[in-house]
Each structure stands twice: as C-alpha cells, then as structure tokens.
Amino acid sequence: MVCVWLSVSDATLRSRLRELAERRGFDCAEFDGGASMPAQGGGDGDVLVAEHGAAAADALAHLQTGRGTPAWMIMLVAHGDADAARLEALRRPDGGPLRIVDVRGGLAELDRVLCEIAGGRGGVSPALCFGDFVTASALGRRLVDTARRVAQSRATVLILGETGVGKERLASAIHAEGGRGERPMVVVNCGAIPESLLESELFGHERGAFTGAERVHRGYFELADGGTILLDEIGEMPPPLQVKLLHVLQERSIRRVGGERVVPVDVRVIAATHRDLASDMAEGRFRADLYYRISVVTLTIPPLRERPEDVPILVEAFLHRAARDLHAPVRAVGPAAMRALRRYPWPGNVRELANVVERAVLMCDSDTIELGDLPDAVADVLRQEHAGLMSDHVAEPFARLPDEWFEMPFREARHAWNAAFEKLYLQRLLAETHGRIGHAAERLGMDPRSLYDKLRTYGIRKEDYR
C-alpha cells in the first residue's frame, strides 16, 4: 500500500489532510523527523505532503535515507509563495515530480492530485475528482466541468438523476468548492418528513405556534445560514409548501410558523430529485414558477450503466474504504470479478455498487475479491454470458467440432471433447486466479496435488499466468 507522509505543523490541517488521503485509499503517516519509519508502503511509491520551507527539505532527506525517494512530493503553500517554492524545488537533488498546492482556497486541488495518483497506480483511466464525486467517463467529466464552474457562483442548482447515482455527493462538492466549505451544509429529504411537519422543519416555529410547540425552533434554513441547504427529493414537496419555498427563494428570508418577524437568511439552495419534474409540472404536481427558480443550472447525473468506465475507479475507492473500516486484508479485485462488476447494469447505481463491494470484502477469504465473492445477481451476468458463448458453440456443432472427431468411435470422441473442455477450463481458471494453485484448487473443490497432476497432463504451467 502506498503511504502518504505528512510534514505539516498545523494540527487541524494535518487532520484534514489525513482524512483526504485515507478517503482516497492511501495509508497515512505523520513525519516525525525520521525517528521511526513504519513498514507500510514501498518507499519508491510514497507520497510526501509537506509545507513549503526547511521542514520540507528535512522530511525529504529523512525519507530518502530511511525508505527511498518518494514517487511524489506535494508542497503546500499558503501565503502566495508558490514561485519561491518552485525555485526551491529546482534544487532538489532527485529531480522527482513536484506539485505546488495553494491551500488558501481549500483542499480541493490537493484532493484532485491525490485522486490522480490513486488512479495512476490502479492501472485505470485517470480519474477526475470533484470532492467525493469521482469519474473517468466522458459523460462524467463534462458534468464535473460544468459543476466546477457553477460552484463559484451563487446560482441555485437542480441536480437530476436516478436513485443512488450520487446526487448528494455532487451537491457536497459544489458546496465545498464554492467558497462556503467552512460553513454548514444541511441536507433535507423532503420525502422523508411528514407533510404536517415539513414547514416547521424547514422554516422553524415560534413557541406556542401549535400544540406541543414549547420553545422556539430554528428551521433548516436558519441552521444553514451562510452555507448551503440541499433540498433532496424536492419533487415530493406538497404544492402548498412549494408556494412558501418560492417566496423564500425570492426574498431570501423566512418567517417561522406562528411568527411575524422576518428573518433574513444567506443560504445557497441546491435541489435534487429522481422524478421527472417536467411531467409533474404538466400534471399540476409541481409548480412551474418554482421549477424555473430552482433550475437556474440543471445538472443531470447519468446512471452508472451509461458510464461503465467509472466502475473500476469507484470499486477501488469503495474497496479501500471497506477494507480499512472492516480491518480486512483485501487489496484487489480479480479480473473475472471486475468484468462482472463492469457488465452488471446497476439498477441501484453507485449506492448499490458500494454495498456490493463492502459485502464482497466481508465474504472474501484472501487478499483478492473473486467472482464467487460477489452476490449471485452480479456474478450471474458473467456466468450467463459464458453460457451464451457455449450455446453459440453448440448451435452449429458440425461446423465447430474437428473433422477427425467424427472418424473416432463415440467413446473416444467424447474423451477428446472432455479433454479439450478441461484444458480450456483450467487455463481460464488459472488466468482468473493469477496462477495461484491454492485459490484455483479451492474453486475447483479439488486437492492442490490433484490439480498439479491435471496441469502436467495438459502441459499447463502456472508460471505463465502470474
């Protein structure tokens, strides 16, 4: 596992950096002047994140002495001294790659660099990171490019997409990169709160406003003041409350239930829904004037089945997170399992994928997730594909079977067929298990010694599949 070394004096910043690195699947350690060097990670793959100054040079020297030259060095600047940092970098004796990250505007740029490193080491397409929203597909990149521009404005945003595609993740990234990241982000699921309570929850109420209102209650809009409110599943909001929400968006103020005082609120509003709001407007379930108010910019997240390029990157992120949280030794996904994950249609989208990976980490008995560790619904996609290929092969048997087999007695021809099948089966199995006899024998339900005998019979070498 690649290790990210932190040489940062500020404890709060160091904690946030550790959280970022671990979220991207890295091991993380704090530089302690070289007194101790944990064994995790290979020195040549390490990443050093250091503050600009003498401490950075000291940390680099100690790492080179104890573990080898780090593959990446990321220098943090916070006072506009990026030019000085670049000049200093020119004097690095190793000439290794260096990235200058100005942390005055937050940690989004550092997160992108870590995501780039993670994607490069995983052998997948370079990922584009936008907070926790990660993509490598053309569709996803266009979406992130638009979202990143929108984040710098105060425009109200409507995020559309099927359940589980990551609407809240995208909203969180817009909040974090839009200059309000240090202020609260409040998420309200409009479909999960009873209609009778939703107005009070959104706008608050005064003492005595209704039976049981024994104290003043600040609503979600007040709690989000200075930050962002995400109105998730806004399509479930009842029409009478839509009118009041429209007034709040126009006037940028709220009036608590049972109150007379107008309370100004500085809140960025992001709305999200899986519903077809155009149809809801046509049928009178959603107000057109509210729709045009919340959809200054509309971002549509494509379902996961339309961006299979994102599956390996998401799998890697979820795998590292689950392995860390569950203290499991799982570090990789086998080729057959990854093919199944890429080809499964994911009706539950990214949320379903995260759950499947977590389950696979729990079920896995080795350091690699194989096809048998996946739920049947996912694994069967590949099995059915293989069955289809077999059907194709037997659909025209006379065109596909060798002519000499028809000159043999039936028993001999059947033996030749079985031998051909066994050889192909064993070759495929060794490819999927990377030549590991123990894993292959376990999947076969066979003693390893018996498997070795079969491999010798067919002239198959395990070394050819590693």
Name which CATH class applies to 134-300.
alpha beta
Question: What pLDDT does residue 356 have?
Answer: 96
- pLDDT (tens digit per residue) in 300-339: 999 999 988 889 888 988 888 888 889 898 888 888 888 8
> Can 3-121 and 306-465 be said to share one CATH topology?
no
pLDDT at 390 exceeding the cut of 60:
no
Those residues with Cβ within 8 angstroms of residue 150's Cβ, 6 or more apart along the chain or in another chain: 157, 174, 297, 299
Question: What pLDDT does residue 155 have?
Answer: 92
Question: CB-hemisphere CA count at 13 Å for 179?
Answer: 10
- pLDDT (tens digit per residue) in 100-155: 777 766 676 777 777 767 655 443 445 667 877 888 888 888 899 899 899 988 89
Mean pLDDT taken over the chain: 81
Question: What pLDDT does residue 118 have?
Answer: 66
d(CA 215, CA 218): 10
Question: What pLDDT does residue 364 have?
Answer: 92
d(CA 425, CA 430): 9
Average confidence (pLDDT) over 48-71: 74
Identify the helix (H) or strand (E) that includes residue 333.
Answer: strand 332-333
pLDDT at 341 exceeding the cut of 90:
yes
pLDDT at 399 exceeding the cut of 50:
no
Question: What pLDDT does residue 120 have?
Answer: 54
State how far the alpha carbon of 371 is from the alpha carbons of 176, 308, 334, 362, 429, in Å.
38, 18, 7, 14, 11
Q: 196, 193, 187: which is closest to 224 by C-alpha?
A: 187
d(CA 15, CA 27): 14
d(CA 234, CA 61): 55
User: Where would I find the beta strands (DSSP E) of 52-94?
Assistant: 72-77
Domain ranges for the chain, please list them.
Answer: 3-121, 134-300, 306-465
* Superfamily for domain range 3-121: Response regulator (3.40.50.2300)
pLDDT at 450 exceeding the cut of 70:
yes
pLDDT at 417 exceeding the cut of 70:
yes
d(CA 435, CA 265): 63
Q: What six digits make up the tokens of 164?
A: 């589980």
Provide the whole-model pTM: 0.63
Choice among 14-23, 159-168, 353-362 with the minimum mean pLDDT: 14-23
Max distance between CA atoms of the chain, in angstroms, equals 98
Please give the backbone phi and psi of residue 156, each rounded to the nearest 5 degrees, phi first. Answer: -70, 140
d(CA 283, CA 276): 11
The CATH classification number of 306-465 equals: 1.10.8.60
Q: How confident is the model at residue 357 (pLDDT cuts 50, 70, 90)?
A: very high
